[in-house]
């Protein structure tokens, strides 16, 4: 049992995995909140600490979170925070063995775009507007309200 998911903080093709045992369904939003602090986007070691602090906020338990050099337990796509390109990628676990340049992302956002979402979610959830994060029509990239305001 569990709700396992990982964020991969990447720089120069290398990185570290941050793991949650119970918070996987909320991890896209947790990553958004961490990035929204606008701290150290170009510094992978500090950004990893900022994301981990946001993941563990309010907990002091011995278990439930981890840091590892290779992928372990997981139930969702991997959230890749690419500090060099300033991009958030949702990547299938099977793609993580490939070099970063060859990985196919399920969905990608710039850091700036990602923090502007009202609420971040897994890409296989219901379609969400790329501009505001609200529900979008099937097959549509933006919601009706954002379409009208363009």
Tokens 């990547």 belong to 91
Please report the pLDDT score of residue 135 as a whole number. 63
Q: How far apart are CA 75 and CA 57, in angstroms?
A: 22
Q: Given this model, what pLDDT does residue 143 score?
A: 73
User: For 63-89, what is each residue's pLDDT tens digit?
Assistant: 899 999 999 899 999 999 999 999 999
Distance of CA 39 to the CA centre of its chain: 16
pLDDT at 134: 62
Task: Report which of 54, 100, 77, 103 is spatially closest to residue 5, judged by C-alpha positions.
Answer: 77
Virtual torsion, Cα 93, 46, 87, 7, nearest 10 deg? 20
Q: Which residue is associated with the tokens 């949702």?
A: 90
Q: Are 136 and 128 in contact (CB under 8 A)?
A: yes
CA distance 124 to 127: 8
Collapsing DSSP to helix, strand or coil, 14 comes out as: strand
Instruction: Report the alpha-carbon distance of residue 53 to residue 130 in Å, rounded.
Output: 27
Look at residue 131 in the predicted model and tell me its pLDDT: 67
pTM of the model: 0.83
Read off the tokens for 18: 């941050």
Q: Chunked in runs of 10, what are the mean pLDDT values of the chain (150 residues)?
A: 94 96 96 98 97 92 90 95 97 94 92 95 70 62 75
pLDDT at 62: 81
């Amino acid at each position: 049992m569990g709700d396992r998911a990982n964020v991969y903080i990447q720089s120069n093709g290398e990185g570290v995995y941050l793991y949650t045992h119970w918070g996987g369904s909320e991890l896209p939003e947790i990553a958004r909140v961490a990035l929204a602090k606008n701290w150290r986007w170009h510094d992978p070691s500090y950004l990893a600490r900022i994301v981990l602090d946001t993941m563990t906020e309010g907990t002091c338990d011995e278990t439930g979170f981890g840091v590892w050099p290779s992928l372990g337990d997981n139930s969702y796509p991997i959230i890749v925070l690419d500090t060099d390109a300033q991009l958030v990628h949702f990547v299938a676990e099977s793609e993580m063995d490939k070099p970063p340049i060859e990985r196919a992302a399920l969905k990608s956002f710039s850091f700036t775009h990602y923090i502007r979402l009202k609420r971040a979610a897994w890409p296989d959830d219901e379609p969400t507007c790329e501009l505001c994060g609200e529900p979008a029509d099937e097959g549509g990239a933006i919601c009706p309200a954002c379409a009208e305001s363009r």
